[in-house]
Structure 1
Amino acid sequence: MVKMSHGPRSGSRRKLTKSKEERKKSIIGRMMQEFSPGDRVAIDIEPSVHNGMPYHRFQGYTGIVEGAQGNCYKVGVKVGSLTKYVIASPVHLKRIKG
């Protein structure tokens, strides 16, 4: 018997699959966006870009940008009473107004 893989993308088929309409859209604008500390962002994973991809558990979470770390951003996300920090590339983040 072959052992089942428990890699970082296991169990994420629904979360990391694009629809036909999403496959046609260009992501260059999302790659070029910049954030400043204090901005509110939503984590929206872009499955076609593997660099700077956060763990799929954080798909859909919102948080506050704490600062830049290399080409990525450090985002503080509230999970229960804890604040967890996710390091994500700008292509995996969407700005939230407010």
Structure 2
Amino acid sequence: MVKMSHGPRSGSRRKLTKSAEERKRSVIGRFMQEFEPGDRVAIDIEPSVHAGMPYHRFQGYTGVVEGPQGDCYKVAVKIDSLTKYVIASPVHLKKIKG
């Protein structure tokens, strides 16, 4: 038999926990972010928003926005020689200057 997976958020307690200071801050401004294709972004998962949340393995990775996909953005993330595509809501992305 195959072992049960226990869901997509299993094993992510440390990654998806906010401190008391972070819980006080509002995330409304991050909903309004807009990105252009070619922008560099960091994947920073906001645990209080479940819609458009990427898989927790990609927490902290950086990538390039390929373009919009519905209300979310398609982000190309390079892992070694592979390019993986993550679809994430703008609340889970932070723009990188440079």
Calculate the TM-score normalised by the size of structure 2.
0.95
Name 2:33's counterpart in structure 1. 33
CA distance in 1, matches of 2:40, 2:4: 38
Name 1:66's counterpart in structure 2. 66
Q: What is the identity, as a one-letter code, of the residue corresponding to 1:17?
A: T
Identity level (%):
86
The CA deviation at 1:83 is 0.5
Corresponding residue pairs, total: 96
| CA RMSD, 1 decimal | 1.1
Name 1:16's counterpart in structure 2. 16
- In structure 1, stretches of 5+ residues that fail to align are none
Q: What is the identity, as a one-letter code, of the residue corresponding to 1:63?
A: G
CA distance in 1, matches of 2:90, 2:4: 32
Q: What is the identity, as a one-letter code, of the residue corresponding to 1:31?
A: F
Deviations 1:39-79 (A, max 9, x none): 00000000000000000000000000000000000000001
Q: What is the identity, as a one-letter code, of the residue corresponding to 2:89?
A: S
Report the more deviating stretch, 40-49 or 5-14: 5-14
